[in-house]
Structure 1
Amino acid sequence: MAKPSGSPHEAVRKTDHVPFYRRLFARSSFAFAALDTERRIIDANDALLRAFGISSIEELPAFDACISPAHRAILPFATRQELTEQAPWEIRLQRPGGDEFWVLASFIEPPALPEDDLAPDMIVQFLDVDERKRNALELAERESRWNHALESAGQGVWDHDFARDQRFYSRQWCTIRGRQPHETYDSALDEWIGNVHPDDREHVLAAIARQESGETSFSVFCYRERHKHGHWVWIESRGAVVEYGPDGKPSRIAGTDTDITDRKEAEERLSQMSRRLELALDVSRVGVFEVNLRSNEVNWDDRMIEMYDLREKPDIGSWERSLHPDDRHLAEKKVADGLANNADFANAFRIIRGDGEIRHLRGRAAPYTDMTGVPRLIGANWDVTEDVQLQEELKHAKDLAEARNEALEVARARIEYTSLHDHLTGLPNRRYLDREIEEAARRAEQNGSRLAVLHIDLDRFKEINDTLGHDAGDRMLVHAASVLSELKSATDFVARIGGDEFVFLSAGPAGRNLASLAEAIVTAMRKPVTFNGHICRFGASVGIASQSGTAIDARQLLINADLALYRAKNRGRSRHEFFTSDFQAQIITNKQTADDILSSVEQGRFLPYYQPKFCARTLDIVGVETLARWNHPTRGILAPDTFLKIAEDLDCVATIDRIVLEKSLADFAEWRRLGVGIDQISVNVSSKRLHDPELGRSLRTLDIAPKSLSFELLESIFLDDCDHVVLENLAEIRNLGIEIEIDDFGTGHASIVSLMKLRPRRLKIDRQLVKPVSRSPAQRKLVGTIIEIGRSLDIEVIAEGVETPAHVAIMRDLGCDSLQGYALARPMPAEAIPDFVQQQEWRKVPGGIRDPQDSNRRATIS
């Protein structure tokens, strides 16, 4: 492309030919400029000169400098050959004076024509759009400010253009509902109304219908809408009709939504607070008043009017007229001082009500200036007549109390003494002991000394009390208290804690012999005491526990001493026992055994073992005795001597009896089904079971064939001491066809009269009497006498403890009816009975000791 060699004007004058671009410049209303390779302006039309406000192009710098500095970076891209045919560039140009204006600029590379050897390198065409652009920017700025204002105010904008079927929702509108601006949202009324709270839908639909029908051009309503996360938000919606259609109905409605949840919650809290305040005022009967200090207008609530019993509307003088004459001056001065100091104040005065009654009131008021600048006084009155009267009564009582202070002090000391001492013996009581033992433990810890507790229980006290009366018992308690008081040192403490129980605290050096102290107590208590000519003898059992060190547990000492006392009484009474680590271990073992017994009762682990009974003449089996066994989960089969005592303490022996009875009846039924040939079973019945009022009812629920069951009763639990419950149970037992046997006969205290009264079916001679018969003629004679007594009373006699062939022969010769013992059979489980009966092994070795099941050798008879 040819380039001009001199100035542009010189180049034009060299030829009379007019280039094409000049003809273009002259005919166009657009502004044009021709640029050379260095982007200098070499030609321009009048439209360009007018746009820059100049008369010639010499006043313009290079084209780059004509562009606003902010847009010069665009030029290298706009003049690239591959981009020159794109849409015009929107840029700002800069006039020589420095002001800028907006244009739409196109950069054109002219075609190379033969006649245009002086054609420019680039042609720039632009259209002045400054006014339009500035208007658009101003409009955008205004819109931005408006949007920011709405966003900062938390208002979401919505626009429903029904004519164009367009709906717009702003970012804040979406945020209020927990939605993202880009989410699709079905804004159809039928779908949207489902998110509105059911209680609000009716009035929301009504408000929308009024606006869309043109009934109102502006509407405001509040409702609850479900948030995207599930909770409800309160929204205040404001909408206005902005366009109407040809039919005169709204065609476009726009408005804002505001989240007013916090405001609604605040209003609800305020409403609740107002309700609570009103309720509090109503319940407390506090009356509220307000006075306009400028107009003297008075406003009293209903409680005030009721309190003063006003018959007319209150005015500025109502209060003064109601004041008691003696209180008027001081009450009015309080009000005047409060108003003068512009400070709140309290008041107390009497009023004379409309009905003439005098009441005491309290009041509190405060002056303030309202929003309009009017000075006011607001306050409250409440009736304190009852309080004043009570205070006057209290003051009177106080005066009387002060006048009698000395007497009251004596009474207080007497009450204090009585509350801490036993009224009979004068010794400290349990309350005093609880306080003293804690203090004694603290002192022992500080001094490094020992604290010992001796728990003392009187023996045979109940017998004296029951036989000689309560006066005799009281005399014994007083004597016991004096004995303990004489034995205590200055550092010891003795208390009666109830009934015939005492506690002796010994605090001092560990060298003191507690055993000697306990023996001294036991010895002193054995000495006879005379009461009304009667010689009374009783004793004492003592449990001892002691501890020393820096952590003495006083409460545990009392418990340990009580456990030691329990042990002393169980070992024969009138003795002392120490609580030791071995004792503690035994307690733990007993506790574990007790737990195992209780769980085994629930699990049905108690079961019957059976020891056959034999006819003394034929050695035929005439029945079996049921013996309780415990199938311990870890220790195997255990006899009653390992669990009976603890079971008695747990009061569950009767339950075990019932379990064993039910299982033995089931075994008996199975033997009969198998044809084993056992016609009767006998079951031991405990005293607890025999004293159970429900025994008869429980037996009636069982399937017991007459004469198939016999109850063995210990001689020591029934003879000569049967109460009405036992007698009723014995009668019911006979009515059910259950026979009665007397177990361990000969070792108790039975009488012939008792036997005749009870009329048992059988007697079982105790093994202690049977064992010596093989070597003692006197013992054989005694046993023979018992057999003769049984025969004379028509009572069968069974010998238990038959352990040798000699026992079998002797007891048969003495006329015994049945035999039971190791010589013939040991106790065995139910499943061993059929084989034992079938094999008849006791006949093969007459009188020999045979064990049908080796696994049962460690089982013992009950």
Structure 2
Amino acid sequence: LEAARLAGERLNTLADNAPGALFIFLISPDGRFELPYFSAKLPALMGLSRAEIEADASALMTRVAPDHIRALRQAIAASRRGLTPFEMRLRVCRPEGGFRSVLVASLPFSREDGTVVWYGNVFDITDRLDAERRAAEAAEEGRRVHERLSSVAMIAPVGLYEFRRQADGSIDFPYTTPKFEDIMGLTREEIDMRGGDVLRRIDPEDLPHVLASIEDSARDLTLWSQRFRIRHPERGLIWLSGASAPRRQEDGTILWAGALHDVTGDVQREAELRQAHRLAEAMRAENERQALHDGLTGLPNRRFYDRVLSSRIEAARAGQGPRDCVLIRIDLDHFKYVNDTLGHEAGDRVLIRVAEVLRQMLRAVDFVARIGGDEFSILLGPDMNQDNARELVERVQGALSRPLTYEGRLCRFGASFGIAHTGDITELGAELQLFADAALYRAKEGGRNRMEFFTAELHRNILNDRRIAVELHEALERDEFEPFFQPQIAAEDGRLVGAETLLRWRHPEKGLLSPDDFMHVAEQLRIVPEIDRIMMRKTRSALARWQDQGLVLPKISFNVSSGRMHDPDVVSLARSMAGGGTKVTFELLESILVEEESDAFRFHLDQIREAGIDIEIDDFGSGHASIIGVMEIAPKALKIDRRIVRPVACDMRSRNLVRAIIEIAETLGIATVAEGVETEEQAKILRGVGCQVLQGYLFSHPLDEGDFLAFTRADLKKRA
């Protein structure tokens, strides 16, 4: 008996000191619950006294969370029926400790009388579940951070990192890339071991500022960005630039994700640049004098010229200088040809030669400057007039006409001169330059290598252009631009095969104006693109209205410059018209074939064709384009220039030229259109030599939308 007693005590001691609580639980056949045995830890686990459990085993149920009661009863019933092991996690509420999680596990056995007995244990797993949850959260966060950074870290030339400051102020670097570790001169293990002491590697002079910036970023959650120095164990003192974005975690932790870059080389270069800037500033005063002269010719440059002209105007207004002034503007003719054929060194020799001539021809009181690539300006001294200017220009022209050779080859060039004279510069001021430019423009238009004086007529033209400029802006606001349409007729049977869209301005006072009256000003104002869009939108609307009234125009043509043909708006508007049986055609000037021989130009042509738009060459025969150029462009048709068409009835050379153009077009599989057809005789000859389409006053002047519709209906009645 003593041995049995001792054994029982040992077993109870073991049970009471086991990790969990042991118990024996039974249910009698009549459903009565009993707890004949439980170890000392069970009451504490369940928040009950031993007496309460011994008095009523079902008291244990009062500590189970209400939402677990039903599942617990079902699990007990299932274990009783099938005598299967019972295991379940429960939440129990203890008066002094709130909810705790416990794991209950037991094995059932059946007695002969039908009683089922469970032998089991209860473990408090609250701390384990919390640890598992924290571990899962940390693992998930680590996975997200790793996925986010690893893809960048593989290719980034900077060191990537995450810098974390806990709510208690402790800091660490939970993530760093190998590049970051190399920049800081620390291994990953050293970073983990040092934690916040990693920042001690920052130079002592920079550390306080870096720490203060971290505090500012943490307080306001603003981007952190700093440049600072560190003491690298191998490279010594180096400069780093860091930037990172903070975010606050739920637990109060602040995490910065960012990048670190070695900028030592940049800092050195910046220091060198600052030093160079200081040297440059020190030399500026001396360089200022040299900066007023052209390095190639030695003549005063544009800056010096502007100063001299401004000083002359101010002196005249102050009554301290002459009021009269003669300004001569010079522009070299065919200078680009010299550069393109003989090279830029030959072009430099030409400029030097011009400068030498001007120096020789001018007096000490005259002023000459090179104001642009091949442009020069001369301000004559006081008491000079137009006759004096003419004599000077003639002498300069004579000197420039003498041959200039470069490496045994003759450099041929000339110069155009624009001359403006005023008796009182205070009235014109700097506008005198505009007058000289206008005269120079007329000289170049008139055939080059000549001089022109600014006249009252030129002045009127300038004033007129200014007035037109104002009116053009008003015309855009008042929607005064309209498309007119000139029919294109099949030479063989006289049927309508298309129309060319022509711009007209319905001026409120001057009536209907053609582009010749205002387009040169529109180009200077750079409003041609807007006018083109208006014409195409209005033409699109006219086509739609004509279709509603039974007119389907086979083709509509637009004059388009090379600079506008790839405009997305223009192409889009043309594409929107290319439905309903109407073909859209862009007419490009033949001169474009000579001037635009680039890959970009051909690429734009391909894009236009892909958009379903045809290309025709306008004014063919005036631009000296090569047959190879025509073959490469592969237009749909050639429009023969009206200056060739006009004399075909009386000039055999013109007739033969037209025939030759048509034969070339037929050989290349290209159609031909003759514009400017005004007489039946011209039409008959053009038809006879094989021209396919005719356009001109013989058939119709350009018509507005309504008149064009009436023309087509009248033509249909006549043909019927």
Is residue 818 from structure 1 mapped to residue 690 from structure 2 by the alignment? no
Aligned-partner SS, 1:683: strand
Deviation at 1:810, TM superposition (A): 2.4
- 1:634 aligns with 509
Q: Distance in 1 between matches of 2:641 and 2:437?
A: 37
Runs of 4+ with >6 A deviation = none
Is residue 606 from structure 1 mapped to residue 478 from structure 2 by the alignment? no
- 1:490 aligns with 364
Is residue 423 from structure 1 mapped to residue 295 from structure 2 by the alignment? yes
Is residue 502 from structure 1 mapped to residue 502 from structure 2 by the alignment? no
| Match runs of 1:652-667 below 5 Å | 652-667=527-542
- Deviation by residue 1:138-165 (Cα, 9 ceiling, x = unmatched): xxxxxxxxxxxxxxxxxxxxxxxxxxxx
Deviation at 1:696, TM superposition (A): 4.1
**Distance of aligned partners of 1:808 and 1:463 in 2 relative to their CA distance in 1, 3 Å threshold:** closer
Tell me if the contact between 2:553 and 2:581 (Cα under 8 Å) persists in the aligned partners.
Answer: no
Deviation at 1:838, TM superposition (A): 1.9
Deviation at 1:705, TM superposition (A): 5.0
| Aligned counterpart for 1:568 among listed residues 411, 426, 443 | 443
- 2:304 aligns with 432
Tell me if the contact between 2:593 and 2:629 (Cα under 8 Å) persists in the aligned partners.
Answer: no
Q: Distance in 2 between matches of 1:415 and 1:736?
A: 56
Larger RCO (CA within 8 A; separation ≥ 6): 2
- 1:590 aligns with 465
Counterpart residue identity of residue 432, structure 1: F
Aligned-partner SS, 2:628: helix
Q: Which structure is larger by alpha-carbon Rg, 1 or 2?
A: 1
- 2:88 aligns with none
**Distance of aligned partners of 1:778 and 1:535 in 2 relative to their CA distance in 1, 3 Å threshold:** closer
Q: Distance in 2 between matches of 1:547 and 1:780?
A: 52
Q: Distance in 2 between matches of 1:771 and 1:460?
A: 31
Tell me if the contact between 2:367 and 2:380 (Cα under 8 Å) persists in the aligned partners.
Answer: yes
**Distance of aligned partners of 1:581 and 1:613 in 2 relative to their CA distance in 1, 3 Å threshold:** closer
Deviation at 1:717, TM superposition (A): 1.6
- Deviation by residue 1:213-261 (Cα, 9 ceiling, x = unmatched): xxxxxxxxxxxxxxxxxxxxxxxxxxxxxxxxxxxxxxxxxxxxxxxxx
- 2:670 aligns with 795
- 2:353 aligns with 479
- 1:465 aligns with 339
Is residue 743 from structure 1 mapped to residue 618 from structure 2 by the alignment? yes
Deviation at 1:811, TM superposition (A): 2.3
**Distance of aligned partners of 1:506 and 1:731 in 2 relative to their CA distance in 1, 3 Å threshold:** same
Deviation at 1:643, TM superposition (A): 1.8
**Distance of aligned partners of 1:760 and 1:495 in 2 relative to their CA distance in 1, 3 Å threshold:** closer
Q: Distance in 2 between matches of 1:549 and 1:777?
A: 57
**Distance of aligned partners of 1:549 and 1:842 in 2 relative to their CA distance in 1, 3 Å threshold:** same
Q: Distance in 1 between matches of 2:556 and 2:292?
A: 61
Q: Distance in 1 between matches of 2:489 and 2:371?
A: 57
Q: Distance in 2 between matches of 1:802 and 1:521?
A: 47
Counterpart residue identity of residue 347, structure 2: G
| Amino-acid identity (%) | 43
Deviation at 1:531, TM superposition (A): 2.3
Counterpart residue identity of residue 383, structure 2: P
Q: Distance in 1 between matches of 2:540 and 2:627?
A: 33
**Distance of aligned partners of 1:549 and 1:810 in 2 relative to their CA distance in 1, 3 Å threshold:** closer
Q: Distance in 2 between matches of 1:810 and 1:460?
A: 40
Tell me if the contact between 2:302 and 2:371 (Cα under 8 Å) persists in the aligned partners.
Answer: yes
Counterpart residue identity of residue 304, structure 2: Y
Q: Distance in 2 between matches of 1:821 and 1:629?
A: 17
Aligned-partner SS, 1:689: coil
Deviation at 1:633, TM superposition (A): 2.4
- 1:209 aligns with none
Structure number having the greater helix percentage: 2
Aligned-partner SS, 1:729: helix
- 2:276 aligns with none
Deviation at 1:639, TM superposition (A): 1.3
Aligned-partner SS, 1:574: coil
Is residue 455 from structure 1 mapped to residue 329 from structure 2 by the alignment? yes
Deviation at 1:587, TM superposition (A): 0.7
Tell me if the contact between 1:457 and 1:542 (Cα under 8 Å) persists in the aligned partners.
Answer: yes
- 1:676 aligns with 551
Q: Which runs of 5+ in 1 are unaligned?
A: 1-408, 847-862
Q: Distance in 1 between matches of 2:714 and 2:424?
A: 69
Q: Distance in 1 between matches of 2:353 and 2:291?
A: 22
Aligned-partner SS, 2:563: helix
Deviation at 1:414, TM superposition (A): 5.8
Deviation at 1:570, TM superposition (A): 3.4
Aligned-partner SS, 1:609: strand
Q: Give the paired residue count.
A: 436
Tell me if the contact between 2:536 and 2:574 (Cα under 8 Å) persists in the aligned partners.
Answer: no
Tell me if the contact between 1:453 and 1:504 (Cα under 8 Å) persists in the aligned partners.
Answer: yes
| Aligned counterpart for 1:615 among listed residues 490, 500, 508 | 490
**Distance of aligned partners of 1:752 and 1:808 in 2 relative to their CA distance in 1, 3 Å threshold:** same
Tell me if the contact between 2:328 and 2:379 (Cα under 8 Å) persists in the aligned partners.
Answer: yes
Tell me if the contact between 2:575 and 2:612 (Cα under 8 Å) persists in the aligned partners.
Answer: no
Tell me if the contact between 1:707 and 1:738 (Cα under 8 Å) persists in the aligned partners.
Answer: no
Aligned-partner SS, 1:690: coil
Tell me if the contact between 2:554 and 2:581 (Cα under 8 Å) persists in the aligned partners.
Answer: no
| Match runs of 1:639-654 below 5 Å | 639-654=514-529
Is residue 780 from structure 1 mapped to residue 652 from structure 2 by the alignment? no
**Distance of aligned partners of 1:816 and 1:510 in 2 relative to their CA distance in 1, 3 Å threshold:** closer
Tell me if the contact between 2:324 and 2:425 (Cα under 8 Å) persists in the aligned partners.
Answer: no
Tell me if the contact between 2:469 and 2:522 (Cα under 8 Å) persists in the aligned partners.
Answer: yes
Tell me if the contact between 1:609 and 1:629 (Cα under 8 Å) persists in the aligned partners.
Answer: yes
Deviation at 1:609, TM superposition (A): 0.8
- Deviation by residue 1:494-545 (Cα, 9 ceiling, x = unmatched): 2233433322221232466211112222332333322232321222222222
Q: Distance in 1 between matches of 2:535 and 2:678?
A: 26
- 1:303 aligns with none
Deviation at 1:627, TM superposition (A): 1.3
Aligned-partner SS, 2:494: coil
- Deviation by residue 1:14-62 (Cα, 9 ceiling, x = unmatched): xxxxxxxxxxxxxxxxxxxxxxxxxxxxxxxxxxxxxxxxxxxxxxxxx
Q: Distance in 2 between matches of 1:830 and 1:656?
A: 18
Q: Which runs of 5+ in 2 are unaligned?
A: 1-281
Aligned-partner SS, 1:421: coil
Q: TM-score normalised to the size of structure 2? A: 0.55
- 1:525 aligns with 400
Deviation at 1:487, TM superposition (A): 0.9
Tell me if the contact between 2:566 and 2:608 (Cα under 8 Å) persists in the aligned partners.
Answer: no
| Match runs of 1:547-562 below 5 Å | 547-549=422-424, 551=426, 555-562=430-437
